[in-house]
Amino acid sequence: MLKPGRAFKFLTGLTSFRIRRVVYIALFWTSIDIISTVLNFNPNESQTKSIFVRAILVFLMSSVMGYLFVFTLKNIFRNSSLVVNFIAKAVILLFAALTMNFLAHFADSILSEGLTVMGSMYHFYEKVVDGNWLMKRTMHWIILFIFTQLFLEINDKYSPGVFLDIISGKYIQPKIENRIIMFLDLKDSTPIAEKLGHSQYFLFIREFIYAVSLAIIEHDGIIYQYVGDEIVVSWRYNKANLRHCLAALIMARKNIQKKSERFRRKYGIVPEFRVGIHTGDVTVGEIGIIKKDLAMSGDNMNITARIRSACNELNQKFIVSKDFADKCSLQPFQMESLGPIDLKGKAEGVELFALKI
């Protein structure tokens, strides 16, 4: 099993994450196909070679279809409804499935039954004409496509890894975990909303959040929730994730800079954002009845939110707590002490640092 994180060290985090999805899809589909073949046809020893070849062909074709699911079709239909997504992808991938069935059947006919190339093609034609066989194979792949698409959509909704935690019941009983927490929101959101109006402001926010979220996913961040123009993110605490947190912040700023001309041309405004970062224990647990989700709570969540709010009061863009600064081993030129700052709900001032990155 490929481990989470940078399984493909030479690739970016986002590409590595997507390739892992493709591999998982290909392995799952291949396993289902081989199990189905064995149960339906009870192959003897002489057919073992053809099953092996079929597994290779199915895996290769499943990888192609997985690539379509995760990369190509996802981008093409990103702004389409879920129904349009399902129908369009099912039609496209159904053709791919027929091609895969042809190749697998072709290899099986030659290796197991000793047919010629023309004989194999005619045999496949007879199978296709047989409506029962075609219907069974078609339904087999449509079910797999729908299940896979549902999994991808739900996993995207809950952020990578969260859906599996809910399915496995990991957080039915609340757990205390050490997390790196980031609160990020749009600067000057109220005057921007007044200038753009409701519809344009919504589109503006959507593009802003998309650009920032790409950076977060690129560096293994777990998106906890979106609240208007605010994104709440966490990383499980370790040295590597301290670096990922800062790298995500830097990349988010670069993503906005790259799209600055587009924002300026379309909205007349280039977005800026504020960030508060802290680290410490939080309680993570499953909540909800009809709609289940994972909730994070605790004093450290409140502190992070107030650090983010302090950006306005202190006229700073990126502020971190002393706990984070100490653990991250930042150099003096990368930060500036703002001194002990009174935060709502805290009896004593909390020393904060402005990031200079």
For residue range 255-299, list pLDDT tens digits in order: 999 999 999 999 999 999 999 999 999 999 988 776 677 789 999
- Domains of the chain, first to last: 13-158 (no CATH), 162-355 (3.30.70.1230)
3-state SS string over the chain? CCCCCCCCCCCCHHHHHHHHHHHHHHHHHHHHHHHHHHHHHCCCHHHHHHHHHHHHHHHHHHHHHHHHHHHHHHHHCCCCCHHHHHHHHHHHHHHHHHHHHHHHHHHHHHHHHCCCHHHHHHHHHHHHHCHHHHHHHHHHHHHHHHHHHHHHHHHHHHCCCHHHHHHHCCCCCCEEEEEEEEEEEECCHHHHHHHHCHHHHHHHHHHHHHHHHHHHHHCCCEEEEEECCEEEEEEECCHHHHHHHHHHHHHHHHHHHHCHHHHHHHHCCCCCEEEEEEEEEEEEEEECCCCCEEEEECHHHHHHHHHHHHHHHHCCCEEEEHHHHHHHCCCHHHEEEEEEECCCCCCCCEEEEEECC
Predicted pLDDT of residue 4: 41
Predicted pLDDT of residue 9: 47
Per-residue pLDDT of the chain (357 residues; tens, 9 = 90+): 334 444 444 455 566 767 877 888 888 888 887 887 777 655 555 566 667 777 887 788 788 877 877 777 766 776 667 677 777 777 777 777 777 777 767 766 766 666 777 777 777 777 767 667 667 777 777 777 777 777 777 666 666 666 677 777 788 889 999 999 999 999 999 999 999 999 999 999 999 999 999 899 888 898 888 888 899 999 999 999 999 999 999 999 999 999 999 999 999 999 999 999 999 999 999 887 766 777 899 999 999 999 999 998 899 999 999 999 989 877 778 889 898 888 877 777 788 999 987
